Amino acid sequence: MPELPEVETVRSGLEKWVIGWKISNVEILHSRAVRNNTTYDLRKVLPGRKITKVDRRGKYLWLLLDNNQALIIHLGMSGQVLLPNVVDPPHKHLRVRLLIEKIDKEIHFIDQRTFGHMTLDDLEGGIPKSVKKIAPDVFESEYQQKVVVEKIRKSNSEVKKLLLDQGVMSGVGNIYADEALWRAKVHPQRIGKDLTSAQIVKIIDKCKEVMSQAIAAGGTSFDDLYVNVNGESGYFDRSLAAYGQTGAPCPRPKCRGLITKARFMGRYSHFCTNCQPKSR
């Protein structure tokens, strides 16, 4: 699933092109691509609306419209937002097409697995109402580190589960949680209340560090399900230390551990058997 760095890469790519574009028509090619609205809602409201901003919180992306509404785009497992050459044949998994007025441009929402969706929503304080339910991410001005540290310090849950909890801090998924915990030398099953405030701050700092580096690399692509708006893959997968590295020697200097994979919380985690002890 695309995480914050991948969504930010899409957001910044859209921002370079679509500001000021006016939507002339909407074609909805799969009913599951639209959530909480009827297809009629989008076909009625979007034509004539101008895109004024492209914004994001965590894994949620939205196009701000000139009627103070937002078209939210959630990529789900395999969603893509492309700005294609309109003379090319349409993608076989094209779900929604936004046609743009007066210019030969379109915005395409592609989704092979159809877990992603678009939603039209009203704004509240500059944020879509349905997105306000999740916590700010570490790159937002609204983010309050003291609040996040306190939530983790009071929790009986495993630290990785807390990093993935979008009500604690949004945007972090399986890849960057594993990478941040490896960088912080913390086992993913450590309990939040057993960590010191300094350890939690370090974990959060490593989350921001690794996601910043991933953004600079265009995100992480393991297959063609995640690409940027030009259809290009990210290359941060070349820099992964833990995620997907099962059986490899830990890349930390002088560490003789191996990267292992264990299943808990219904998903796999990757960590070093030596420098990320379960208890300390």
Question: Which residue numbers are catalytic?
Answer: 2-3, 59, 267
Q: CA-based Rg of the chain, rounded to a whole angstrom?
A: 20
In angstroms, rounded to a whole number, what is the distance separating the alpha carbons of residues 144 and 118?
29
Distance CA 131, CA 200 (A): 25
Nearest to residue 81, comparing CAs of 51, 103, 102?
51
Residue where the block lists tokens 């992480």: 220
Using alpha carbons only, give the angle 226, 31, 97 rounded to the nearest 5 degrees: 55
